[in-house]
Structure 1
Amino acid sequence: MSVSGIPAIDDLQPYDGDDLGAIPDGERAASKGGRGGETEGADRDGTTFRVWAPTTSRVELRLFHDGGDCCGSGCGVAGTTGVHAESALPPSTSTGEEGDADVSRQPYATYAMAPGMGADGRPDGTWVVHIDGAGHGTFYDYVAYFPDGHVSRTADPWARAAGANGRRSMVVDLRRTDPEGWADDKAPTIPLSELVVWETHVGDFSNDPHSGIPAEHRGTYLAFTHDETRVDDTSEFPTCMAYLRRLGVTAVQLMPIFDFGSVDEAAAREASRPDADPAHKPFNWGYDPVNYNVPEGSYSTDPFDGAVRIRECKRMIQSLHRNGFKVIMDVVYNHMYGADNWLERMVPGYFCRRYAGGALSNGSGCGNDMASERPMMRKYIVDSVEYWAREYHIDGFRFDLMGLMDVDTMNAIRDRLDALPGGAAKIMYGEPWAADMTAVSPDVVLAGKRGLSRLDPRIGFFSDDSRDSIRGNIFHHHKPGYVSGAAREFAPAVRHAVDAWRGTEVEVASVGQFVQYVSSHDDLTLWDKLCMAMRSVAFGHVGEFGGGSGVDSGSGVWSAESGPTDAEYDADPSLSGDIMEANRMAAGIVMMSAGVPFMLSGEEFARTKHGCDNSYNQSAALNWLDWRRARRLAGLVDYYSALIRWRRRNPSVFGGSRIVPQRDDSVVVFRVGGDCVTVNPTKQMAWQNVSALRAMNDWGQFAPLDDSAWQCVFSSRGAEACGEANWESYSRGHERQIAIPSRSFCIWRCE
């Protein structure tokens, strides 16, 4: 206990109620009875405000007619008089309202909040007040007073709605935000064995002027509600939702859709006018949370009305479900936009990790780390995930820098989701790493690679081992991987990767935990990585194949000064044939590997950012999906689509055991179920004796297998290559071997 009587940070007792935030009376009437400190007999048009602030000496609630920041004309209208507490803020108050018009800073009413009381009659760390007449659409914030004289203005950390840029919170009756048919909205039934995840950014999905989406909906949630769009609205080639149905993926992972701080929502709305240049639209990936439980306003058609973004976000999810896709939300509970966030303003020193001297921990590389191991931060995260799953019908969650989250919090999230109706089907996976060390006590186990064995086996993780083996190291752009020039070096690792690393030191409880991928929003796109690796020789690498404008035809070695040209980034077929072959092989390996396949949107049409490996704050034009490129490279799109269909028709691909023959060359061969998969990244035909593909049964005998029945039925080089492979195989006669074409990914079936 501190000298002032206020508990020290480490002694703070968590609040276990489910009523933090602003809860309109209509919602409260439908829930269980309230807790101590609230007004009895409240009318049905009011709201109860409750906030956890155990280190404050008092808290005030301020009410506004508008959201404050950039509210445009008509804001700051004088309001009615309420029962006022002291409304003048001391000069040293941290308001966070710099840039607001002076008139917008003035509340129309200010109320003193009362300490909340627990069942034992003692203060429970919350402050609460009920206000009659302050219903749906009322904007508000808090002023927190501390014993040392510090005063802080803050939005509500538990808010469910907010005005533009999230600077003020808004009371919302969530029932008013439900689109028509929302009560009947359900996720499609997709077994884990058929899950194929396609990651996209709300803006990237439709910002391209050629997307066929109406200008007023480009880059917004509502772009997802247009079911039948075409390139330039005239072509036969589909875009957006129609394109996703053609591609055949089964889940869409959305990059952050909670309220983030790096895009001015008002400016984004202005940039959405039909006469505005879409290339200069404000852009950011959004990995900088401000209000965790509020949708991002720059993706809405009206960021000033807090209800609009909620309704439009729900319409997006509803449309994705109706079109057959699960919705996975990218969540960033490991850090916030800054250490000066609403949580820390309300309870300074509690929610962010700090070293003993007071310095902020920075394992996220973003200036702050959230202390998931603290009871109220854990409760906040678990409650937040449940809220998105329950209120927005989210089907899964991808955890950014999961290696900064503690395993107890991750397992608590899993338990909470499981308790929801149908919650066991909710998907969880994350990044099992961090950007740097973080400040936690030795008894805290983090959900990084060392903590994976402590996670519930239904919490998955991205396999960077598979990624780097197939495409090459992400930190060394010119260093090749298995498909891009270092096949012999990485063949042993790829043989493990296709079997989800079973039988190795990185094996985990379930193959369903492995997210297999070669591209995501981070780092170079797959195409750009292949371009860089295959058009240079960094780190003393000597290519295993020649071709292209920068190679010495005699040695097969790229000069150190060479690199990809714009034409190669643009997938000029006269210059990039070998890169396209590598792309197809990489896709085949991922799609036929055990685990859950994942891809960055546009990987299937050789998406390029012209060598930019971190486009989080670059232009909208660099980041958006180029739908004319997708049309031009429709052959590659069709190849991905065929792989997805094959995987979905063959459930054994997901988790079936593999027979992986030992080889001493660069070729990878494995059998799963009735299929044999071959990958040959070299320039020579290779051979595989089929006797090595026979499975042994429980009695130690070979299962019956007709050696002459293997047929090449799918090839990255097309049907003609299948025919050639079958002919060469037949020519070997009695000693049956299958011929593996050069520079190919093939599937063979025993028929």
Structure 2
Amino acid sequence: MNTRTPADWKALFESDAFAQQNTYTGPLGVEYTPAGTRLRLWAPTARQVYVNLYRRGDGGVCIGSLPLEKRGQGLWSVYLPGDQHGRYYTYTLHAGSTSWEAADPYARAAGVNGKRSMIADFARIDPPGWLHDHRPNIPVSHRSVWEVNVRDFSQDPASGVRPAWRGKYLAFAQQGTTLHSDGIHPTCLNYLKRLGVSYVQLMPIFDFGSVDESRSLTRQYNWGYDPAHFNIPEGSYSTDPTRGEVRVRECKQMIAALHAAGIGVIMDVVYNHMYGNDNVLNRAVPYYYFRQNEDGSFSNGSGCGNEFASERPMARRYLIDSVLYWAREYHIDGFRFDLMGLYDVETMNLLRAELDQLPGGQNILMYGEPWQGGVSALHRYEANKNNLAMLNERIGIFCDNTRDAIKGGCFNAREPGYVEGKESALWDIGAAVAAWCRSSALPPHSPGQIVSYVSAHDNFTLWDKLLLVRYKRPEYGAMDSVALAQNRLAAGIYLTCMGLPFWQAGEEFARTKKGQGNSYRSSPALNRLDWQRAQQFHELVDYYRGLIGLRRYFPRLSALDTASPAAIQFFSLEQPLVGWQLPATFGDGALWQALCVFYNPTGQEKTVPLPEGSWKLLSDGISSSLWRGESQIRSGQTVLLPTSATIFGKA
């Protein structure tokens, strides 16, 4: 009988001898051919392994169990002759006097709730035309990211999406949707194409554990930051989670539809922890994949009960293999890492290097949250803000410095930021404009490492935050003129900052969650995108649309070189005004010779001097599309509207 303690397992797994004897480099998971299928499982601590075969993804009896052969380096393997497409399976592992059943951690398809893994011929289940799908070519100057949850995107009955597709992958594939199907006001993919975003960041789409796929979804809801399988799409977003091939096919249909619209797809990946300690990785090799404290207990830097041990060789390999799988098989355009501070720097840099080796891989985006969710037992350099200089220059971070400077601290509902008149924040606003490349507080390799934003799925929506600063009991549904001006100013700042612009879906139409900070398991009604609100606040939507377009025509705002932030010239103005100009780069296709930008967070008009020359008014802080047509030419000085971002281009 095995009597090892958790501390004993820690000592074993972190020993050089274990790594030398059990670091396996060959293929893992399912290797399918019509003539037969090879199954491979890495389970070095098991003494015996059997595969159990089923005809269905749930229910029914086991139709046979076969022993796996033990190979070197911790590998177990079995060959199943004949066409096994559509067969489901689990493993039974024996160690000492105990045995237990497990799904395959390397499975790429599964039955309902991921309990049984599935053998699948992907060539047979891929959607028509999938081989011709490719990542869109998105120039650096066009990059912007719109974050959304698959279910939130279309579950509003007003979305115009057919009922069977609401809250599903396929909602992204329905063309021409409009509000209440009125044929006038665009929604969903139709809306995104008009808005002009270049990337959609999908909140977790790999199989997660907090929603029971076998039950009605009417009252179930979760964002999905509780992964159960890392290589399988979530079943509740498919039209039939009981058939393992459906989620695979429909997830690819979603991606293909976005690609056809010229929009890249970024996956929000949560490799830092799993949904509970009884999970597919722990069942394969108990304790190995998760970081341990000195006494052997699970470290909890995620705040979710466990954290992934990215520094252990086969765990590191698992993470890298999984990301590369999504990039290759699903043509994913970028990866956003949840709690990236829980990974070690070496793993993230190795992953970046591996992505770069793929065809077009250098254009795959990679960024994450540079913090942790609690105290971690990671004793190597963490992939966090403090170690930004150690990360590859094309691994970006969410810049909470920019976020909090613009709108105030996200954890204190009442704390104001620059847009609400906090004068002390103006110094950070200047740093944010230059993507912190000119600040000792957070010096990145290049502006491309900084994700500039003011709202994401966590914490208050921007609209709710603006109202909570000003009112004890806000009316979230009201069209508050001051909050609208502050919202426009916030967008006007981060969409003219260098770096990668990012925002939460619906920020552009004053999305509200009624003052609830984190709605990860709230009602579907609270979380859904309210497409009626998109029409109600259409002028705010148009403001975002104009800024997105304007940014594209001045490529230096998105430049990746350090000379560009150094070229920004800040003006000496009355506080708390901020003003600056940036010359265009010769030959980059900019519509204007230089950009001149002013931020006025006060409630009064302000007169400011303009740099020498003639300047075309591109945005006055209310309309951001003045640049699209004939506009006023000004010189000498100009008047800034109250609570506004004013933008000029050198004529």
TM-score clears 0.5: yes
Q: Deviations over 1:629-679 (max 9, x none)?
A: 101111111110000000011101213332112335111111123111111
TM-score (norm 2): 0.92
Residues 339, 428 of structure 1: CA spacing in aligned structure 2 closer, same or farther, 3 A cutoff?
Answer: same
Q: Report the counterpart of residue 344 of structure 1 in structure 2.
A: 282
CA contact (8 A) 1:729 1:739 kept: no
Question: Is residue 222 of structure 1 aligned with residue 170 of structure 2?
Answer: yes
Match of 1:689 among 593, 601, 609: 609
Q: Report the counterpart of residue 591 of structure 2 in structure 1.
A: none
Question: Is residue 626 of structure 1 aligned with residue 530 of structure 2?
Answer: yes
Q: Report the counterpart of residue 80 of structure 1 in structure 2.
A: none
Query: Whole-Å Cα distance in 2 between the matches of residues 282 and 463 of structure 1?
Result: 32
Query: Whole-Å Cα distance in 2 between the matches of residues 57 and 126 of structure 1?
Result: 11
Equivalent position amino acid for 1:680 in 2: N
Q: 1:440, CA displacement in angstroms?
A: 2.0
Query: Whole-Å Cα distance in 2 between the matches of residues 281 and 18 of structure 1?
Result: 44
Q: 1:134, CA displacement in angstroms?
A: 6.0
Match of 2:462 among 514, 526, 530: 526
CA contact (8 A) 2:112 2:213 kept: yes
Q: Report the counterpart of residue 475 of structure 1 in structure 2.
A: 411
Q: 1:434, CA displacement in angstroms?
A: 0.6
Q: Report the counterpart of residue 669 of structure 1 in structure 2.
A: 579
Q: Secondary structure at the match of 1:8?
A: helix
RMSD of aligned alpha carbons: 2.1
Query: Whole-Å Cα distance in 2 between the matches of residues 15 and 311 of structure 1?
Result: 33
Q: Deviations over 1:416-458 (max 9, x none)?
A: 11111111111100000011110123xx111011221111100
Q: Report the counterpart of residue 426 of structure 2 in structure 1.
A: 491
Q: Report the counterpart of residue 65 of structure 1 in structure 2.
A: 55
Q: 1:718, CA displacement in angstroms?
A: 3.8
Q: Report the counterpart of residue 13 of structure 2 in structure 1.
A: 9
Structure 1 gaps, min length 5 = 27-43, 69-74, 77-105, 117-122, 272-279, 536-561, 694-704, 731-735
Query: Whole-Å Cα distance in 2 between the matches of residues 369 and 337 of structure 1?
Result: 10
Q: Secondary structure at the match of 1:504?
A: coil
Equivalent position amino acid for 2:507 in 1: E
Structure 2 gaps, min length 5 = 584-593
Query: Whole-Å Cα distance in 1 between the matches of residues 248 and 199 of structure 2?
Result: 21
Task: State, as a whole percentage, how many aligned pairs show the same letter.
Answer: 45
Q: Secondary structure at the match of 2:648?
A: strand
Equivalent position amino acid for 1:564 in 2: P
Q: 1:364, CA displacement in angstroms?
A: 0.6
Q: Report the counterpart of residue 589 of structure 2 in structure 1.
A: none
TM-score (norm 1): 0.80
Match of 1:746 among 642, 646, 649: 646
Equivalent position amino acid for 1:480 in 2: P
Question: Is residue 584 of structure 1 aligned with residue 488 of structure 2?
Answer: yes
Structure 1 moving runs of 4+ over 6 Å: 2-7, 719-722, 726-730
Q: Deviations over 1:59-101 (max 9, x none)?
A: 1111111122xxxxxx41xxxxxxxxxxxxxxxxxxxxxxxxx
Query: Whole-Å Cα distance in 1 between the matches of residues 443 and 605 of structure 2?
Result: 33
Query: Whole-Å Cα distance in 2 between the matches of residues 485 and 508 of structure 1?
Result: 28
Q: 1:719, CA displacement in angstroms?
A: 8.8
What is the 5 A alignment of 1:628-667? 628-655=532-559, 656=564, 657-667=567-577
Q: Report the counterpart of residue 600 of structure 1 in structure 2.
A: 504
CA contact (8 A) 1:60 1:113 kept: yes
Q: 1:352, CA displacement in angstroms?
A: 0.9
CA contact (8 A) 2:53 2:88 kept: yes
CA contact (8 A) 2:143 2:198 kept: yes
Q: Deviations over 1:219-256 (max 9, x none)?
A: 11110111200001124000000000110000000000
Greater Cα radius of gyration, structure 1 or 2: 1
Question: Is the deviation greater in 473-482 or in 680-689?
Answer: 680-689
CA contact (8 A) 1:402 1:448 kept: yes
Q: Report the counterpart of residue 433 of structure 1 in structure 2.
A: 371
Query: Whole-Å Cα distance in 1 between the matches of residues 404 and 180 of structure 2?
Result: 37
Query: Whole-Å Cα distance in 1 between the matches of residues 413 and 305 of structure 2?
Result: 26
Residues 591, 349 of structure 1: CA spacing in aligned structure 2 closer, same or farther, 3 A cutoff?
Answer: same
Question: Is residue 169 of structure 1 aligned with residue 105 of structure 2?
Answer: no
Residues 528, 719 of structure 1: CA spacing in aligned structure 2 closer, same or farther, 3 A cutoff?
Answer: closer
Query: Whole-Å Cα distance in 1 between the matches of residues 503 and 530 of structure 2?
Result: 16
Q: 1:281, CA displacement in angstroms?
A: 4.3
Q: Secondary structure at the match of 1:282?
A: coil
Residues 194, 719 of structure 1: CA spacing in aligned structure 2 closer, same or farther, 3 A cutoff?
Answer: closer
Q: Report the counterpart of residue 119 of structure 1 in structure 2.
A: none
What is the 5 A alignment of 1:177-192? 177-192=125-140
Match of 2:64 among 109, 133, 145: 109
Residues 325, 622 of structure 1: CA spacing in aligned structure 2 closer, same or farther, 3 A cutoff?
Answer: same
Match of 1:139 among 88, 99, 102: 88
Q: Secondary structure at the match of 2:403?
A: helix
Query: Whole-Å Cα distance in 2 between the matches of residues 727 and 418 of structure 1?
Result: 46
Q: Report the counterpart of residue 101 of structure 1 in structure 2.
A: none
Q: Deviations over 1:684-727 (max 9, x none)?
A: 2223333xx4xxxxxxxxxxx42xx12433112349999xxx99
What is the 5 A alignment of 1:704-715? 705-706=612-613, 709-715=614-620
Q: 1:357, CA displacement in angstroms?
A: 1.1
Residues 420, 110 of structure 1: CA spacing in aligned structure 2 closer, same or farther, 3 A cutoff?
Answer: same
Q: 1:3, CA displacement in angstroms?
A: 9.8
Query: Whole-Å Cα distance in 1 between the matches of residues 500 and 89 of structure 2?
Result: 44
Query: Whole-Å Cα distance in 1 between the matches of residues 175 and 509 of structure 2?
Result: 21
Q: 1:266, CA displacement in angstroms?
A: 1.8
Q: 1:683, CA displacement in angstroms?
A: 2.1
Q: Secondary structure at the match of 1:294?
A: coil
Query: Whole-Å Cα distance in 1 between the matches of residues 213 and 282 of structure 2?
Result: 23
Match of 2:518 among 599, 614, 623: 614
Residues 727, 299 of structure 1: CA spacing in aligned structure 2 closer, same or farther, 3 A cutoff?
Answer: closer
CA contact (8 A) 2:276 2:306 kept: yes
Q: Deviations over 1:264-294 (max 9, x none)?
A: 1122xx44xxxxxxxx342110001111000
Q: 1:384, CA displacement in angstroms?
A: 0.3
Q: Secondary structure at the match of 2:444?
A: coil
Query: Whole-Å Cα distance in 2 between the matches of residues 186 and 635 of structure 1?
Result: 34
CA contact (8 A) 1:57 1:146 kept: yes
Match of 2:384 among 439, 448, 462: 448
Count of aligned pairs between the two proteins? 622
Equivalent position amino acid for 1:23 in 2: E
Query: Whole-Å Cα distance in 1 between the matches of residues 183 and 537 of structure 2?
Result: 14
CA contact (8 A) 2:342 2:378 kept: no
Question: Is residue 23 of structure 1 aligned with residue 27 of structure 2?
Answer: no
Question: Is the deviation greater in 46-55 or in 655-664?
Answer: 655-664
